[in-house]
Structure 1
């Protein structure tokens, strides 16, 4: 296993532990940190292991951080449906 895959596994464990802890802001601050760490990590995994493994790691990250992705798609949808802007 490469170092990038090991760190990706550590990222997933860290995200799971954070999800189990209580939070006043529904884990949004932790989600921002996980996103900031996860984007370069997915790039590194893709660089070292190829695009197929990179897509698997990306899918795992999206499944863990599904609500920020859902809100992002809702935001894109609301921006595209209003032609007056």
Structure 2
């Protein structure tokens, strides 16, 4: 296993452990840190292991951070000129 894949799997374990603990801000601070670390990590995995593994890690990270993605998608939909529902 390449070092990039090892780091990505460690990132996934850490993200899941963080999610197990209670948080007053509903884990948003942790999500921002995980996103800041995860984006370059996906690039590193893609560079070392290829685009298929990069997409697998991207999908795994998106499943862990699904609520920030959902809120981002809703924010994008609200900015296209139509009123938000």
TM-score over 0.5 for the pair: yes
Partner of 2:57: 57
Unaligned runs of 5+ in 1: none
Q: Where has structure 1 moved over 2 Å in runs of 4 or more? A: none
Per-residue deviation, 1:64:
0.2
**In structure 2, distance between residues paired with 1:63 and 1:57:** 10
**In structure 1, distance between residues paired with 2:48 and 2:79:** 36
Per-residue deviation, 1:82:
3.2
Per-residue deviation, 1:81:
3.5
Partner of 2:48: 48
**In structure 1, distance between residues paired with 2:17 and 2:26:** 14
> RMSD of the alignment, in Å?
1.1
**In structure 2, distance between residues paired with 1:8 and 1:14:** 10
Per-residue deviation, 1:46:
0.3
Partner of 2:36: 36
Aligned residues: 83
Unaligned runs of 5+ in 2: none
1:69 aligns with 2:69: yes
